Structure 1
Amino acid sequence: MTPTRMPIWTARPTRFAALPPGRARATLALLVLLLAACLLALRSPSPPPVSGDSANRAEDQADVVLYQTIVEQVRHGGDYYAVTAQALRTGDYPLRPFVTFRLPTLAAVQARLPDLGSKVLLYALAAGTAIAWWMRLVPAFGRAPPRVVALLLLSGGMLVFVQAELMWFHEVWAGLLIALSLALRRPGRWVEAVAFGLAATLVRETAALYVGVMAAAAWAEGERREATGWALAAAVLAVVVAAHAYAVAQVVRPLDPASAGWAGMLGFGFFVRTMTLSTALSLPPLWLAAPMVGLALFGWAAWAEPLAARALATFAAYAVLLGVAGRVDTFYWGLLVAGPLLVGLAFVPDGLRDLSGAAASGRRRRITVTRLVQ
Structure 2
Amino acid sequence: MTVVTPKFGMGASVLRREDQAFLKGLGRYTDDIQPAGLLHGYVLRSPVAKASFTVGSTEAAKAAPGVHLVLTGADLAHLGKLKSGVMQRQPDGTKAPTRDIPVLCHDRVNYVGDAVAFVVADSRALAQDAAELIEVEYEGEDAASGTATALDEGTPLVWPELGSNRAFSYHIGDKAKTAAAFARAAHITRIEFINNRLVCNYIEPRSAIGEWNTQENRFVLTTGSQGVHSMQYILADIFKIKKNQLRVITPDVGGGFGPKSFVYREHPLVLEAARRLGRPVKWAGDRTEHFLTDAQGRDNVVTAEMAMDMDGRFLGMKVDLLANIGAYVSQYGPFIPYIGVTMSTGVYDIQALDVSVTGLYTNTCPVDAYRGAGRPEAAFLLEKLVDACA
TM range (shorter): under 0.3
- Give the TM-score of the pair, scaled to structure 1: 0.24
- Structure showing greater radius of gyration is 2
Q: Which protein, 1 or 2, shows the higher relative CO under an 8 Å CA cutoff with sep ≥ 6?
A: 1
Q: Which has the higher strand share?
A: 2
- Give the TM-score of the pair, scaled to structure 2: 0.23
Q: Which has the higher helix share?
A: 1
